[in-house]
Structure 1
Amino acid sequence: MLQNISILNQALDVSVLRHNTISNNLANMDTPNYKPQKVVFEEVLKGELANSSFEGTRSNTKHIPIGNSQARPFITEESVVTQNNGNGVDVDKEMSDLTENSIWYQTLSYQLSEEFNLLKTAIKSR
């Protein structure tokens, strides 16, 4: 459960970073030779989780198992040129990405809220 909370927290942080990156791309849509940026995280996280062998030591079976994910997002520059001035920002794509990211953020927020509700229920039932 705590690992889920940690992963959801990281995903929310990445969603905020992605929102800022998309907003920056949109703000520079008329800047000559501007190359749009994108955030890469999901692929890194999947690889990290698949190769994760870290497990916390449990001295009691009632302890919650823990793991450690050190996946970090990074920003890459796309090399697409869509305008005559060398600018690569596709406004329709950026707006679509922004909408998708907003829905993803709302979903993550809901899932995190549900994880805390489960944790609260578990604490109350003790």
Structure 2
Amino acid sequence: MLQNINLVQRALDASVLRHNAISNNIANVNTPNYKPQKVIFEDILKQELSGAGFDGKRTNAKHIPIGLAVSSQPLITQEPTVMQNSGNGVDMDSEMTELTQNSIWYQTLSYQISEEFNLLKTAIKSR
């Protein structure tokens, strides 16, 4: 159960980071040569959960970790696409769609983590 909470927490953090990136893109819609930012998290998480790659075994705490660690940190990239003559690559329709999708995703994750805590609370009370 705690693993689920940690996973949802990382997804919530990624959603907040995505919201900030989309907000920056919208704020810079008229900035010449601005390249929009994009947050990649779900693909990284899928790769981690599918067991793709490897995670090296550490026999000593001083050893350097190798392979895929269980971190699922979001990655911020810049989109190379240029859509306007000014060199700006922000597409307002696309950004507004992504903002709406991200808001729904955040609400869903918030509800899910709330339910996880309600289950924990019920388990604690029943003891």
Q: Deviations over 1:30-85 (max 9, x none)?
A: 1111110100011101111122888xxxxxxxxxxxxx831111101111111111
User: In the aligned structure 1, how far is the partner of 2:106 from the partner of 2:41?
Assistant: 14
Using structure 2 for the length normalisation, give the TM-score: 0.84
Structure 2, unaligned runs of 5 or more = 56-68
2:51 maps to amino acid:
N
Counterpart of 1:49 in structure 2 is 49
Q: Does 1:3 align with 2:17?
A: no
Using structure 1 for the length normalisation, give the TM-score: 0.85
User: In the aligned structure 1, how far is the partner of 2:101 from the partner of 2:72?
Assistant: 22
1:82 maps to amino acid:
M
Q: How big is the alpha-carbon RMSD for the aligned residues of Structure 1 and Structure 2?
A: 1.6
Q: Does 1:70 align with 2:94?
A: no
Instruction: Count residues with an aligned counterpart.
Output: 113
2:40 maps to amino acid:
V
Q: Kindly report which structure 2 residues correspond to 1:96-107, keeping only aligned pairs within 5 A, or say none.
A: 96-107=97-108
Structure 1, unaligned runs of 5 or more = 55-67
* Stretches (4+) displaced over 4 A: none
Q: Does 1:115 align with 2:120?
A: no
